[in-house]
Structure 1
Amino acid sequence: MEKEAKSHDSLNKVSKFMKFFGGRDIYFILGLFILLGLTIFIFQKVSFIFEPLMTVITTLVGPIIVAFVAFYLFNPIINFMERYNISRLWGIIILLCAIIAGFSLIVTLLIPVVQHQIESFTKNLPNYIDEFSGKLDALSRNSFVADYYAQAQNWFQQNFSDIPKKLSDSVGNFGHKFKSFVSTITHVVVILITFPFVLFFLLKDGGKFRSYFISLMPPKFRKDTHDLIDKMNIQVGSYIQGQMIVAFCIGVLLFIGYSIIGLEYALTLASIAAVTSVVPYLGPMIAISPAIVLAAIDSPFMLLKLAIVWAAVQFLEGHFISPNIMGKTMQIHPLTIIFVLLCAGNLAGVLGVILGIPGYAIIKVAVTHLFTLFKRRYNRFYIDDAGPYEFKDDEVNIEKEN
């Protein structure tokens, strides 16, 4: 009895700080972190053993990512059909038939027009280059611009004088680059062939997959896992759906504007803008570049008209389209978006730029939820010392449910 009393007293003597971090469980957690560190260290030393596994993962990641993007686009349509007593399977079949019909219509109507404009642009490209060079020469004769032009020419010669050497090195390494190019094309073709099958089963059994994953969690964590998945679905789904609609609206508005001002290759330029506008902030800057070049070659007045059209489209997108379509679901500051795009682009290239914002949204949801749990635990142990943490409206619901 005395030993039990002493052990009970020793437990009571544990500081509030240690209780806050789990009491004696903290030693177990530290042990897990040490084992995790040792596992990562050993993995680095024998990583060659896992190369087949990494090959399998990299092969599967592409179709799964593309299928998830399509899933968030089309799942609301399937859910809408279910409300009108159309079975999920028949809804998927109807949707796939509609997609195939729409794609065939686009190929039949739009592709020939875009192809004709691209061929025309390629044919006229030497004339455009000559006109652009002539305007640069005329501009360089201006006494005000001459000094700056000379400085720019010197800078260009210093930085690009070794281009022939770089080209010869590239040609010498042509075999390796061609093999890499063929590998990339093959990977893209595999993704395009396999992702429809992944999409079909995601649309058909997505709810079952989520329920099965939640059932794998310990009962204590199933509620938090369910909440996290729901929030991630809302964040990522709203972003993908909204960004696609916004990009389509920008493409349509630019096509109308380019057609009104008489800019050549309006459909091709608007299509490029619609595709690149999927990436916020950076996409529109890339999209406007070819239009600026063509407008500058045409005339200064065309450049002015292009600026008016672009300003009008950006005004409509920023004040009417995005606020009504995207809403405030993402709740990410524009500066944060720019930093995320820059970091994701350096880490994973074009794929990182495209997936950076949805990935950040998922991480933000997880971190926010964990911080809510932290605040709830803090209130349990320290509410009498310095007052409670305050919860936002969405956090209040979590607090009440728990």
Structure 2
Amino acid sequence: MPPPWSTEQVLSLSPDASSTAAARKLATPVPWGSTGATDAAVWGLCAGSGKSPYVTVVDLTGPAYSCSCPSRKFPCKHALALLVLWSQGQVAAAVEPAEFARTWLAGRAARAARPATSAAAEPVDEAAAARRVTARADRVAAGVADLQRWLRDQVTHGLAGADRAGYRHFEPVAGRLVDAQAPGLADTVRTLPAAAASGEGWPARLLEELALLHLLTTAHARLDELPDGLAAVVRRRIGFPTRAADVLATPAHRDTWAVLSVHDSSQDRLSVRRVHLHGTTSARDVAVVSFAAAGQPLDASLMAGTTLDADVHTYPGDPFRALVGQRHGEPARLTAPPAGVTLRDAARRWADALTADPWAAAIPVVLGPALVGVDGHGAFWVQDDTGRLPVPLGVQPWTALAVAGGRPVVLAVDYGAAGATPRAVLAGEELVAL
């Protein structure tokens, strides 16, 4: 049986802090019985407040979870606790799953093998579809024109007071863009209050963000004149969806991909997961970004500290964002940190990224060996022989500083205009997520 995941990898699957805390309390052998594990699944019965124990099964190949508890979180605290026990070597290996686990696993396999009913078999009204595309394009164009007028007003009347106005100055504009079916522009407008309230020098930062918005609206007006890759970027930034099928139709980049970091955040009413993949042969870095509605589980098929032999497909016009296509085997444990690049080389990659997408916020990069430090004013930095780069304001990577211990380390970072945000530290065979 392959080595179990580390406890840190297990807890990275947790949907929230309360689930993590509850799972830690349950991760003792006392409430558990009938536990076992194979190379594909872990199972067990957990005593609860009722007469019957909770039946918990985890399909490791997903991962996917089943538990008879009433929780609507995925994974629930019982699944997490069971995996923590397994990661600590407290679940015995078994030849075959228990009957209750085998039944659930067989049902999953049957559903996976069942041919999907294809909507493509139904007749498509191409004329109606064309009308919908045209109608949306018209609404977006009207929304973009409205945004251009608002941008001119900001410059004409000045930015005074924007730092005190909060969201009420920007939310009506974002709302109109949502109505115009331009959600990408709406999301960008909703980030403006952060620039307006970010301390000394905020007018310059806000003006820079407004200028980038103006550049995007101008590019939209000239879509037909742009190269295909840049036009695809503009459409995506405006908010036109990019179909997964179109991404997976691009050329595949097969490699053994190291999963270096998994970072979760929230965006409007969505949960966002950003996964940093590093090609161990190609030294290529890409980010896989997934979304889930509030309260719904995010994709957990990529786990930090593992490697995966797979095809990766990049988005049209964006060589740093990707989807995972065909997988050519099961994940394995990451046993050696990848080689990092210098800060000078990272700056070149950032320049290339901005050439492809002038509105890029950050790209995944592996830096190092590099030092992590903090000055007397509480400002963090990353440094190597080629230069020094700040860590963005508000980011405090104390864990990275502690793990490094004054030694050069390899860092998985999000590299952007404001500096480098550490997401994981790789010291020897140890990967520490931040």
Q: Same fold (TM over 0.5)?
A: no
**Which is greater in Rg?**
1
Which has more helix, going by share of residues? 1
* Higher RCO structure (Cα 8 Å, ≥6 apart): 1
TM-score by length of 1: 0.23
Say which structure is richer in strand: 2
